[in-house]
């Protein structure tokens, strides 16, 4: 990648974009890093340039690309943040400051993990763009990891698998997550990586040849039904997710049906359903494998129609059908909502990403580092767990972490409901209060208005930070109450 490649990439996405600041930032960074080389032996500037290139590929605005070009300047050169601010403005300087802060971690082992996680959450809460730059920076570092000593390779790759990839996933950045994982996989589990590559390389080519035939049949049928402008391609499953799936299926590749899926991109939502209809007219779908993530998007915002069918000669094939917009969101997730914001600043977030704002609020609440570390355990669980959606009898939808219980739901509705909860009905049946809820459950919380305090036992199974804190607060109040009565009695 050269600066000209970068500029033409930006222009390709937005012909009206003003790239003069980008070019200026490149010259500035190239001068600052002059004479420095990376461990690969190349000039240092290649790294910020590649980082900026990854972000341009994601069609993110010019201020972010400027910040990416400058991201290592204050850390590695004599140029200060103040000088950056003078030349490129406060917004760019603020982003670079954020990335510089993320970079400095001196701890080892578990301490390092916690500190890292804390910093990532802080960055996420204050400006998501900093995180996007950090992801791109990490991605390029992984692409050139070969040049580092093995110990460092392992540490960086492991940190990517444990921290960066789950956060990218939570933000719906599917392509980023997959690339981070696949590049790290090789260094963290080298033998498992070789094994996965080997079985993939054996199984994939015949499947690809077969899918060429399927594509032709489907294309013909779609034309007959008047579905136009169809883009069809075979999507190879990413290695790390294939590996994880293989572990789940006794390492038996014949049980994995989406090794290569056929991805179909059409202009409108209506076209998506037409394509689904045509596919089901041609081939019989497998029971329980039709997934309408358009009507019910995944908690991270992913939308598509999925179906798995008994295809030609009884082979099992998965199809994924989506529009261009859905495709973009599936690849870059939350970053898709940055494009059209003129200033490049945080745009209004879609419903499924509101938790990022919640995170910002929590972070403000817990400004003390020590407290933050204490809260981290529960916070981490809230964020890294997948989300489920359950319904109240009135039809309200409540978003909870996976395995949340009726008590978590009760506290999500209101602390009074939580404190006076005496039972729960899930889909019209009485269940124990510690039963894990599932997406789509209709949950009715039974309360008793005479009950004012929760049971301390609930702390053993609740999953959300909110429920935990509210139970503790109510118990504390109760104890204070007892104590006061006791004092009064003693006075008498």
Q: Which of residues 99-138 bind Mn ion (CB under 5 A)?
A: 137
Task: Provide the minimum distance between the beta carbon of 380 and Mn ion in the complex, in angstroms, as a whole number.
Answer: 26
Nearer to Mn ion, 43 or 267 (CB): 43
Q: Report if residue 258 touches Mn ion, rule: CB under 5 A.
A: no
Residue nearest to Mn ion (CB): 137
102: nearest Cα among 88, 127, 79, 122:
122
Distances (CA, A) of 155 to 61, 161, 167: 32, 10, 18
Task: Provide the minimum distance between the beta carbon of 163 and Mn ion in the complex, in angstroms, as a whole number.
Answer: 16
What CA–CA distance (Å, rounded) separates 169 from 164? 9
Task: Provide the minimum distance between the beta carbon of 65 and Mn ion in the complex, in angstroms, as a whole number.
Answer: 14
- Give the active site residue among 14, 57, 76, 434: 76
Residues 6+ apart with CB under 8 A from 272: 266, 294, 305, 321, 322, 323
Task: Provide the minimum distance between the beta carbon of 71 and Mn ion in the complex, in angstroms, as a whole number.
Answer: 6
Only one of the segments 67-75, 123-131, 190-198, 343-351 lies at the binding site for Mn ion (rule: CB under 5 A); that segment is 67-75
Only one of the segments 66-74, 87-95, 206-214, 301-309 lies at the binding site for Mn ion (rule: CB under 5 A); that segment is 66-74
- Give the active site residue among 12, 75, 231, 325: 75
For residues 441 and 426, the answer to whether their CB atoms sit within 8 Å is yes
Task: Provide the minimum distance between the beta carbon of 459 and Mn ion in the complex, in angstroms, as a whole number.
Answer: 43
Tokens for 74, please give them.
């204050």
Q: What is the DSSP letter of 77?
A: S
Task: Provide the minimum distance between the beta carbon of 143 and Mn ion in the complex, in angstroms, as a whole number.
Answer: 12
Respond yes or no: is residue 76 known to be catalytic.
Answer: yes
At 423 the three-state DSSP class reads strand
Nearer to Mn ion, 71 or 337 (CB): 71
Nearer to Mn ion, 79 or 230 (CB): 79
Q: Report if residue 44 touches Mn ion, rule: CB under 5 A.
A: no
Q: Give the angle subtended at the CA of 459 by the CAs of 456 and 464, to the nearest 5°.
A: 145
Q: Report if residue 72 touches Mn ion, rule: CB under 5 A.
A: yes
Nearer to Mn ion, 141 or 415 (CB): 141
Distances (CA, A) of 139 to 51, 53, 161: 8, 11, 12
Size of interface with Mn ion, in residues (CB under 5 A): 2
Tokens for 8, please give them.
């033409």
Only one of the segments 68-76, 262-270, 340-348, 462-470 lies at the binding site for Mn ion (rule: CB under 5 A); that segment is 68-76
Nearer to Mn ion, 96 or 359 (CB): 96
- CA torsion sign for 342, 343, 345, 347 is negative
Nearer to Mn ion, 137 or 181 (CB): 137
* HSE (side-chain half, CA atoms, 13 Å) at 213: 9
80: nearest Cα among 69, 89, 93:
93
Return residues touching Mn ion (CB under 5 A). Answer: 72, 137
Q: Which residues are catalytic?
A: 75-76
């Amino acid at each position: 990648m050269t600066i000209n490649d970068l500029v033409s990439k930006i222009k390709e996405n937005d012909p009206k974009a003003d790239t003069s600041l980008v070019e200026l930032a490149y010259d500035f960074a190239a001068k600052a890093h002059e004479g420095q080389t990376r461990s690969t032996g190349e000039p240092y500037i290649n790294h910020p340039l590649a980082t900026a290139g990854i972000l341009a590929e994601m069609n993110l605005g010019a201020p972010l690309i400027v910040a990416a070009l400058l991201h290592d300047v204050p850390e590695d050169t004599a140029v200060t943040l103040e000088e950056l601010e003078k030349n490129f403005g406060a917004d760019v300087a603020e982003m670079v400051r954020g990335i510089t802060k993320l970079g400095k971690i001196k701890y080892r082992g578990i301490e390092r993990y916690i500190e890292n996680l804390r910093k990532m959450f802080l960055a996420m809460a204050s400006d998501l763009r900093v995180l996007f730059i950090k992801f791109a920076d990490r991605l390029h570092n992984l692409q050139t990891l070969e040049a580092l000593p093995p110990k460092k390779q392992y540490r960086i790759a492991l940190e990517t698998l444990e921290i960066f990839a789950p956060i990218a996933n939570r933000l719906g950045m599917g392509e980023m997550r997959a690339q981070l994982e696949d590049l790290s996989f090789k260094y963290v589990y080298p033998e498992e990586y070789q094994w996965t590559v080997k079985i993939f390389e054996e199984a994939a080519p015949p499947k690809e040849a077969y899918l060429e035939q399927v594509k032709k049949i489907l294309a013909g049928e779609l034309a007959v039904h008047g579905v136009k402008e169809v883009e069809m391609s075979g999507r190879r499953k990413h290695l790390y997710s294939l590996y994880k799936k293989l572990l789940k299926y006794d390492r038996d590749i014949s049980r994995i049906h989406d090794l290569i899926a056929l991805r179909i991109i059409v202009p409108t939502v209506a076209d998506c359903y037409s394509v689904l209809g045509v596919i089901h007219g041609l081939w019989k779908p497998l029971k329980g494998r039709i997934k309408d993530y358009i009507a019910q998007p995944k908690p991270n915002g992913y939308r598509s129609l999925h179906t798995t069918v008994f295809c030609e000669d009884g082979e099992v094939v998965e199809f994924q059908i989506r529009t261009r917009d859905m495709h973009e969101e599936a690849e870059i997730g939350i970053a898709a909502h940055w494009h059209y914001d003129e200033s490049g600043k945080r745009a209004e977030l879609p419903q499924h990403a509101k938790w990022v704002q919640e995170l910002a609020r929590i972070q403000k609440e817990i400004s003390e580092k020590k407290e933050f570390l204490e809260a981290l355990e529960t916070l981490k669980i809230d964020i890294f767990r997948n989300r489920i959606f359950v319904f109240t009898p009135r039809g309200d939808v409540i978003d909870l972490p996976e395995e949340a219980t009726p008590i978590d739901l009760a506290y999500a509705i209101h602390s009074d409901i939580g404190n006076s909860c005496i039972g729960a009905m899930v889909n019209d049946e009485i269940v124990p209060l510690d039963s894990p809820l599932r997406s789509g459950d209709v949950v009715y919380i039974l309360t008793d208005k005479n009950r004012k305090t929760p049971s301390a036992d609930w702390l053993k199974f609740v999953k959300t930070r909110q429920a935990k804190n509210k139970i503790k607060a109510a118990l504390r109040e109760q104890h204070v109450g007892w104590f006061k009565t006791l004092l009064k009695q003693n006075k008498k």
